[in-house]
């Protein structure tokens, strides 16, 4: 998928390989399989900035990228996205959630156009930072 960055004349290509797309209870699901251990808490976003600032949310970022690419070329209004972690199979399919606070009991796994629009803002910010020669690369602590 080609992205034209809003603050420059640059175009970048965003691509990835989905492990699975299926239809369950009338909803499209994007599913990624991980051989390592993934925790549910790392798929629950409270602050949008955490998806580009913290490695803990890299799996949520990946699911949002896949969702972004899928919904960009589709008339579908919303989907779900989640991970099956081989080392954490007892959890089953762990879905992405956007929460308003840490104690927010409401968990809505729907990824809709509003979620995608907010993700797009942070995605473009990250890409522009990567492409900016004035900002040095700094390895993040894992």
In a domain, 68, yes or no: yes
In a domain, residue 60? The reply is: yes
pLDDT tops 90 at residue 130: no
Taking 80 as the threshold, does the pLDDT of residue 66 lie above it? Answer: yes
Mean pLDDT of the chain: 89
Residue with structure tokens 């993700």? 119
Q: What is the pLDDT of residue 4?
A: 86
pLDDT at 140: 66
Q: Is residue 10 part of a domain?
A: no
Place of tokens 């762990």: 94
On whether the CB atoms of residues 25 and 31 are closer than 8 A, the answer is no
Count: domains in the chain: 1
Q: Which of 135, 103, 69 is nearest to 127 (CA)?
A: 135
Q: What is the pLDDT of residues 14-57, one digit of tens each?
A: 988 989 999 999 999 999 999 999 999 999 998 999 998 888 99
Residue 71, domain member (yes or no):
yes
How far is it, in rounded angstroms, from Cα 93 to Cα 42?
13
Residue 129 falls within a domain, yes or no? no
In tens, the pLDDT along 72-122 reads 878 888 999 999 999 989 999 999 999 887 777 777 889 999 999 999 999
User: What's the whole-number mean pLDDT along residues 122-132?
Assistant: 88
Asked, for residue 133, whether it belongs to a domain, the answer is no
What range does the domain containing 53 cover? Answer: 18-122
Distances (CA, A) of 97 to 10, 74, 92, 115: 31, 21, 15, 10
- Asked if the structure places residue 11 within a domain, the reply is no
Q: CB–CB of 87/39 below 8 Å? A: no
pLDDT tier for residue 141 given thresholds of 50, 70 and 90:
low
Q: What is the pLDDT of residue 142?
A: 61
Question: Does 64 score more than 90 pLDDT?
Answer: yes
- Residue 9 DSSP one-character state: S
Residue 13 lies in a domain: no
């Amino acid at each position: 998928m080609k992205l034209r960055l809003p603050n420059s004349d640059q175009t970048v290509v965003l691509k990835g390989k989905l492990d699975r797309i299926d239809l369950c209870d009338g909803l499209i699901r994007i599913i990624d399989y991980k051989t390592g251990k993934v925790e549910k808490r790392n798929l629950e976003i409270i602050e949008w900035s955490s998806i580009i600032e913290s490695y803990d949310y890299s799996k949520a970022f990946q699911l949002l990228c896949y969702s972004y690419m899928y919904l960009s070329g589709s008339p579908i209004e919303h989907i779900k996205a989640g991970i099956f972690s081989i080392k954490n199979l007892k959890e089953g399919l762990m879905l992405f959630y956007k929460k308003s606070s840490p104690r927010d009991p409401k968990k809505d796994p729907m990824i809709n156009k509003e979620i995608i629009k907010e993700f797009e803002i942070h995605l473009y910010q990250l890409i522009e930072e990567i492409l900016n020669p004035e900002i040095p690369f700094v390895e993040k602590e894992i």
